[in-house]
Structure 1
Amino acid sequence: MQQQKRHPELVEGNLPVFVFPTELIFYADDQASHKQVLTLYNPYEFALKFKVLCTAPSKYAVVDATGAVKPQCCVDIVIRHRDVRACHYGVMDKFRLQVSEQSQRKALGKKEVIATLLPSAQEQQQQKQQDEEKRMKEQLVESVFFEQTSLQQVSESRSQSSGPSLLTVFLGAVCVAVLMLPTLGDLESVVPVYLHLSVNKKLVAAYVLGLLTMVILRT
């Protein structure tokens, strides 16, 4: 009776498919990244068979593009990029994993995974670091301007100033501490390497400290 109730739901093609990762990134200058692994999970109480399709099959080699997954088990699907050329940089290809019950042909569910080839892993990492530093700078500047606006509103409502707020003093202390930390590449420092900061981060701290000084002098 349970089997008869389960089948009408499965044949609709809406069975959730669990795949990790959901995005594959290959780097032209990193040979190790040319081989990626997709893991297909089967959390159900019945076996599944799967099939891997691709929008650009000539660029990839898929090991075991078809197979089966036992109930509450998983399988690894190896995908290799075999056409690493500059003309393919930034092109997004798609892999589609279709699953069905072993006794049926119709797909019960599907999941798409995006694959992208990038020129350099190092350049990607540097770009992420620059974006992170830019985001940190924007957050610090917004925090300082918000604090400055709040101080102006308080000064307008009070005839006498009570001095800088604790937040302003705290931000100033943080900026001073950042400027006192060693710079990246300073081999003679006894401070741990993970506390060495880049020049850009110190410039941001100096800029914010200047804004804080202006806020304090106005109070």
Structure 2
Amino acid sequence: MNMKLKIMIPALLAALFLGACGGGDGDNQNTTDDGTAPTGENSAIGHGVEDGAGPEEDGEGIGFGMTDGNIEEAANVPESEKAAILETFGKYMETFNNEDPDGYSAVLAEGEDGFDVEEEKKAMQELFAAYDVDRSAENETIVSYKDGEAQLFSNMTTTMTSKSSEEARTEKGRQVTVLAKVDGIWKVKEIYYIGDAA
């Protein structure tokens, strides 16, 4: 069974924070294999994000290629589509940081190949009840573009602050956000994230 790996960002962030705080030695206790992040169809960390791992020819691969330490941008992206993809990614980031479950879910693709929007809203509300979260992205680069689907690489920085203890944790990582054109509008379809080693 070919099941695509996905994550729910709110659940993943909580797992990263709780796992890191539970370690006690300051090391990032979370890897793509250690089971501290949520598992299941809609909450598993994507294992396809690796340095030098470019998308496969059939379009099924997820990843990015690097040349001299720089991310390679896809050469075939029309400027109008690039602008629309970056706009959707910007809304995805903005609505999350603004704690706007309705706005956030509006940028998600729904259904079998996308997200369970109601579960995403619920997870987001639970996360923000316990934490203040700020996420920022740098080096947003479209690394693959084909047949109404795009993969956008970014370096992510996430700071979570517990509302009860005021303890803060900052996590850096790399993310490939898969976007699909749904009824003429770009939507976030899948998210693959890997945290940097501490």
Alignment TM-score, normalising by the size of structure 2: 0.22
Structure showing greater radius of gyration is 1
